[in-house]
Amino acid sequence: MDELKKAIRDYVVKEYLEEGDDRQVGEDTPLITGGIVDSFSMVSLKRFLERKYSIQIPDAEATPQAFDTVNSIAALVTRFTKG
Amino acid sequence: MAYSGRARESYQNELANLRDQGLFKEERYIHAPQGAEIEVEFPTGNPPRKVINMCANNYLGLSSHPEVVAAAHAGLDHRGYGMSSVRFICGTQDIHRELENKLTEFLGTEDTLLFPSCMDANAGVFEAVLSEQDVMIADRLVHASIVDGMRLCKAMQDTFKHSDMGHLEEKLVEHQDKRFRMVITDGVFSMDGDIARLDAIVALAEKHDAMVFVDDSHASGFIGKTGRGTHEHCGVVGRMDVITTTLGKALGGASGGCVSGRRELVEMCRQRARPYLFSNTVAPVIVSGALKVLDLISATTERRDKLETNTVYWRKLLTDAGFDIKPGESPIVPVMLYNAKLAQDVARDLFAEGIYVVGFFFPVVAKGQARIRTQLSAAHEKHHLDAAIAAFVKVGKKYGILGLGKNQIIEKYGL
Ligand SMILES: Cc1ncc(COP(=O)(O)O)c(C=O)c1O
């Protein structure tokens, strides 16, 4: 897993998994459809990405689909960093 | 008419999908006033049958109480049926303000404003008091109406892990650059029945300069020694900034809600909250009934005490029988089944045994957390609960789940 994906994965584990929840989060683990992140709490992930990578992700692009896996989130971040 | 065949077909497909996924909701017709025993027509078309109701929010058993009904009748005679106006045009009667004052006294706050429902109170309050410069920090399991209300507000949104004070503190520290911070939680969480740690939340909020909001819909009237709510239970009466609650559960069960709290925040709602400004006033008969409810529960704690006794008894019955329940003190007692189909099957069999309960599963609760939510009432007598446990045991045996813990149930039925 590259740096970007690892940073996203680590944030997801820290921010969304409860203590004692030993689910593994991999590059393709469904986060939203898998019930780890819900659309209500997703905003902090978006803000984390925007801050850490100095990007702006328009709300229209921050869809549950785009945020469903570490891979898809990484692709989104890459797209906006290249901007 | 522009309801094209394409539109109809599209909606029909969507509805069929809901059915296929087992998410289609159907009403059951009740041929009786709300109470411990009701007559339910189910499936539709069948003759109504008498069942013990264990899924109402009728915590204090006041929904059909003769004194409340009589007070509502008197209100109808003296103040009429409807007001045909929003509050600020010509929809505020003396009794509306009287009820607001009584709620203020009961909740131990500075002022109160009635809303058509608590859903409306939650939909309107955040937008009315917070702006872009502020942040809302909510427990992840707050009620859907709070989620909607937050979405209507321009303040930044954030969440903390359910009842996780360490995570909440991190968020409070992170957002010190904001003008105002508001911590948002339910008092009693409606799906798990657990009680928010309001004492710890208030302490953190005071340390990090934040306001505290609690939705006490599943607590007002019975949680705490005199039933004032979660803030009484946690010893923080007078330190809450906003309380929203409903008249539609313990407090008579008709309808209506309110925002109660700091004087200026309530006044901001009177000036700005859209569901207050643009929806009709609470009907006089409901206001009259609610006034009587507050009189009854302010005069004696008998009803909330009986509810507490019933709760302790029912939790013990389920535990002794070997059911896996969410531990706690509230009259919301979830019987954990984890598997969605199992929850539906058990609920259906219990109905056949004369016990009315409902299974809950994703998306109402998290995946793999399916359950039957039982709710106690002061209207329940011991014989109701004894009959209910006999049925639970019978059905529990049929599915072989008595004495099984979480992992064993999941092993047997899957997720
Ligand atoms: C926590 C909570 N808040 C608000 C509401 C909505 O209350 P009302 O029925 O008054 O709109 C409910 C009811 O389902 C609830 O459980």
Is the distance from CB of B206 to CB of B238 less than 8 angstroms? no
Q: In chain B, whose CA is at the least distance from the CA of A15?
A: B161
Domain B66-299 has CATH 3.40.640.10: yes
**Are the CB atoms for B325 and B319 separated by under 8 Å?**
yes
Chain B touched by A38 (CB under 8 Å): yes
- Catalytic residue ranges of B: 190, 218, 249
CA of B349 to the centre of ligand 1 (A): 28
Domain boundaries along the sequence of chain A: 3-11+31-81
Per-residue pLDDT of chain B in tens (415 residues, 90 and over written 9): 689 999 999 999 999 999 998 888 889 999 999 999 999 999 999 999 999 999 999 999 999 999 999 999 999 999 999 999 999 999 999 999 999 999 999 999 999 999 999 999 999 999 999 999 999 999 999 999 999 999 999 999 999 999 999 999 999 999 999 999 999 999 999 999 999 999 999 999 999 999 999 999 999 999 999 999 999 999 999 999 999 999 999 999 999 999 999 999 999 999 999 999 999 999 999 999 999 999 999 999 999 999 999 999 999 999 999 999 999 999 999 999 999 999 999 999 999 999 999 999 988 888 889 999 999 999 999 999 999 999 999 999 999 999 999 999 999 999 8
Confidence at residue B173, expressed as pLDDT on a 0 to 100 scale: 98
Q: B265 C-alpha vs ligand 1 centroid, how far in Å? A: 20
Contact assignment for A44 to B366 by CB distance below 8 Å: no
Amino acid making up residue B130: L
Q: Parallel, antiparallel, or unpaired for β B358-360 and B370-375?
A: antiparallel
**What are the start and end residues of each CATH 3.40.640.10 domain in chain B?**
66-299
Distance CA B391, CA B397 (A): 10
Q: Which residues of A touch B367 (CB under 8 A)?
A: 34-35
Q: Ligand 1 within 6 A of B248 CB?
A: yes
Q: What is the pLDDT of residues A4-57, one digit of tens each?
A: 999 999 999 999 998 778 788 999 999 998 888 988 899 899 999 999 999 999
Ligand 1 pocket residue status of B215, Cβ below 6 Å: yes
Q: What pLDDT, on a 0 to 100 scale, did the predictor assign at position A53? A: 93
What pLDDT does residue B179 have? 98
Angstrom distances, CA of residue A15 to CA of A25, A46, B208, B279: 12, 12, 20, 39
Q: Do B158 and A38 touch (CB under 8 A)?
A: no
Length of chain A in residues, anyone? 83
Residue B158, chain A, CB below 8 Å: the answer is yes
According to CATH, where is 3.90.1150.10 located in chain B?
Answer: 27-56+302-413
Tell me which of 3.40.190.10, 3.20.20.70, 3.90.1150.10, 3.40.50.10170 is the CATH number of domain B27-56+302-413.
3.90.1150.10
Of B283, B282, B281, B285, nearest in space to B75 by CA: B285
Per-residue pLDDT at B366: 85
DSSP H or E segment with residue B156: strand B156-160
Q: Are B343 and B381 in contact (CB under 8 A)?
A: no
Q: Is residue B354 within 8 Å of B391, Cβ to Cβ?
A: yes
Opening angle at CA B85, ends B81 and B88, nearest 5? 125
List C-alpha distances in Å: B412 to A77, B289, B408: 42, 49, 6
Contacts of B73 (CB under 8 A, 6+ apart): B285
Q: Specify the pairing of strand B355-356 against strand B49-53.
A: parallel
Given this model, what pLDDT does residue A82 score? 75
Token pair 């898998």 is at which residue? A34
pTM: 0.95
**CA–CA separation, B310 and B323 (whole Å):** 17
- Residues of chain A in contact with residue B368, where contact means CB-CB under 8 angstroms, are 35
CB contact under 8 A, B159 and A18: no
**B182 C-alpha vs ligand 1 centroid, how far in Å?**
20
The answer to whether A18 contacts B162, with C-beta atoms less than 8 Å apart, is: yes
User: What pLDDT sits at residue B311?
Assistant: 98
Is the CB of residue B143 below 6 angstroms from any atom belonging to ligand 1?
Answer: yes
Task: Give kind and range of the element (H or E) at residue A76.
Answer: helix A70-82
Any atom of ligand 1 within 6 Å of the Cβ of B192? no
What is the DSSP annotation of B84-96? Answer: -SBIIIII--HHH
In which band, very low, low, confident or very high, does the pLDDT at A83 lie, cut at 50, 70 and 90?
low
B362:A35 CB<8 A: yes
Q: Using CB atoms, which residue from A18, A40, A47 is nearest to B147?
A: A40
How big is the CA angle at B340 (ends B387 and B384), to the nearest 5 degrees? 10
